Chain A
Amino acid sequence: MATSSAPGARVPRSGFFDPAATDRAARRAGRRWLAVLAIALLLTACLIVSVGYLLYDGIEIWGNNIPVVWALDIISYDWWMGIACGAMLVAAVHRLAFGHGRDTIGRMAETMALFTAAAAAIYPIIHLGRPWFFYWNLPYPNSLGLWPQFRSPLFWDAVDILSFLTVSLLLWYLGMLPDLAAARDGAKALRARRIWGVAALGWRGEAAHWVWWQDATRTLAMLGILIAILVQCGASVMYAGSLEPGWHDTLLPVIFIAGAALSGLGAVAVGLGLRRFLWPSAPALDGRDHDRLGLALAAVGLAAIYCYGFDLFFTALGGDHYDRLLLMRRVTGASGWGWWLIVPGALVAPQLLWRRAFRRSPRVLTFVGALAVIGIWGDHAMTLITTLQHDFLPSSAHHWRPTGWAIGTFAGTIGLFLLLLLAGLRWLPRLAARAETASAPVSDHG
């Protein structure tokens, strides 16, 4: 808990959440928020219909076939979980390195981690051929004496996502407690005070509260880093543990973690851009926050370049015939679209942010973040589809195309995430665009 500042000095923070100074225009739901909400609701309805039909008719409606047994479902799941893990890394590093995380970037990252994991959590159940038996994945007493198959990555997925949701929920909620108390104290209506008051658990801001709050949130942040790495390692080893060309590579966990970090940073930038779009009058981030986010994107982008370059070099040098053929299919031909999403999105665009003028521009930051997120989606698509379509035997090769139901399900998860995010942007402390007062420097002499 001890800081290096002089006794009595206030621990500095970038903004001061002042719910009492709520802007009336911001308090009313803006037209832009309602318009985006309508889109989110439409997409969520699409999700409900798609999942309903899936439960009725089965996985075939997605266009999955032999050999492409995993397609848009697993692309989407890996992409969402990658963003979740990346956002968790951003939130955890932000909290550990730059103070207590009670600012817009920290809250956005923690919220992103939780809500993207919630969007991802749809898939592990619905992508099972018989999703109503999902509980077979968990150890429970049964008359047949059966245990789950602990050697299966499917089981790892079940444990990983439950663990990730647990850690991200607890970090998000615990980190928000002081701000929920501020919302309680600033609320005018009795009902609002009660709701915020119950949510804040009676937080009083006592010195002892701050001690355990800082200790516990830092501990959860470190656990968050650990779980993010475990989840990405589990997902990547699911691929790397097989013999498939392009998958059986010790570099794959590194690629997954770098991709997750990149997509997480990009998603945070996109979330901040959405917030600014919905409420243009909301206080902007200061230049230092832009610099940190931009530099992090650029640096992780360099890591991604290293990974892809390393992969290209050793595939060309390694001599494995099937790996080289796969590389050619990844870069050229009908399967090349994934690669050509990665190059501009994940490899080139983040490098623009080495230039300070671009980092300081919120629009450029948001645009580059969006490109990074799309680029990493291309990476998951490339990794999965290109290998499965054609691995060893040409006679076993078969192309895949997504069906409308698969696209509808994916779009629906975007709608669900958007719905959750809109609610967060509307009501969550530090995200809701209420007037924030920059903390005035206070001398120790009052």
Chain B
Amino acid sequence: MAEQTTAPILLAATFATPGALMAAVAASRGRRDLSALTACTPEPVAGLADALGCGSTGSGRRALLTALGVGAACFVVMTFATVWGDRLNIGGRPPFSWPSFVIPSLSAGVAIAAIVTFLAALVTAGLPRLNHPVFDIDGIERVTRDRYVLNLRTAGEHSDADEIEALLRHLPLPPLSIQRLPA
């Protein structure tokens, strides 16, 4: 008998190959009775991020802007310090010794850009998160080795988990297992 639930549930389908996973993603994508579709893999799978709608993070652009901005700010600070703040005659060198300021400005900019890149990546990915429903899936440990898990979160009301499960089982490359967990 078709199971229609009001509470969303998580269907976790485990596959042995990336090709099987991609076929399941193609079959499941766009269904209205699914509120979320994610996949866990041991390594990047070509085309998976596009299929699941994961956009680019803009990491490079962010790092470039940060490095230039912080570098410029450091350059201004150094200029202020040597020209006005603490004006010293060092061997007759001009106060505005701008070539000397380039390397430390860029270095500081690169360091801050690296920190921003790292933190932005963590925030974007929602890490750290040591507790997640995915960790309750039996055999999830193998996802870092040789298993590919597709997580389908039902939309709740009017979702037919049995129908979704049957769809997956009738794929040309069916999953090794399908588990149901509370979402």
Contacts and interface: CB of A to CB of B under 8 A. Distances in A.
Interface of A: 1-11, 13, 16, 18, 20, 100, 102, 139, 145-151, 155-156, 159-160, 162-163, 166-167, 170-171, 174, 178, 181-182, 184-186, 197-198, 201-216, 218-220, 222-223, 226-227, 230-231, 233-234, 237, 442-446
Nearest to B37: A207
B142 interface: yes
Contact of A7 (B22, B54, B86, B122): B22
Contacts of B161: none
Interface string B123-155: 011011111101100001111111000000000
Given A139-B81, A181-B144, A204-B40, A160 B107 contact: yes
Contact of A163 (B21, B108, B135, B141): B108
B103 interface: yes
A216 B117 contact: yes
Max chain B CB contacts within 10 Å: which of A2, A151, A197, A203?
A: A151
B110 A167 contact: yes
B44 A208 contact: no
B29 to A, nearest CB: 12
A145 B86 contact: yes
Contacts of A1: 44, 49, 56
Q: What 9 pairs across the A-B complex have the smallest Cβ distances?
A: A444-B19, A163-B111, A8-B22, A201-B128, A7-B47, A185-B141, A216-B121, A147-B81, A215-B59
Q: Is the interface of A mostly helix, strand, loop or mixed?
A: helix
B114 interface: yes
Contacts of B19: 8-9, 442-446
A444 B50 contact: no
Contacts of A178: 42-43, 144
Contact of A214 (B41, B44, B143): B44
A199 B63 CA distance: 24
A146 B78 CA distance: 12
A8 B107 contact: no
Given A202-B130, A211-B56, A8 B21 contact: yes
Contacts of A208: 38, 49, 52, 54, 124-125
B10 interface: no
Given A219-B59, A230-B106, A207 B49 contact: yes
Contacts of A156: 103-104, 107
A225 B91 CA distance: 34
Contact of B86 (A147, A227, A230): A147
Contact of B114 (A150, A160, A167): A167
B111 A166 contact: yes
23 contacts: A1-B44, A3-B46, A11-B46, A149-B88, A159-B107, A166-B114, A166-B115, A170-B117, A170-B118, A178-B42, A182-B144, A185-B142, A186-B141, A202-B128, A207-B48, A211-B54, A211-B57, A212-B124, A216-B118, A222-B63, A223-B67, A223-B114, A444-B18
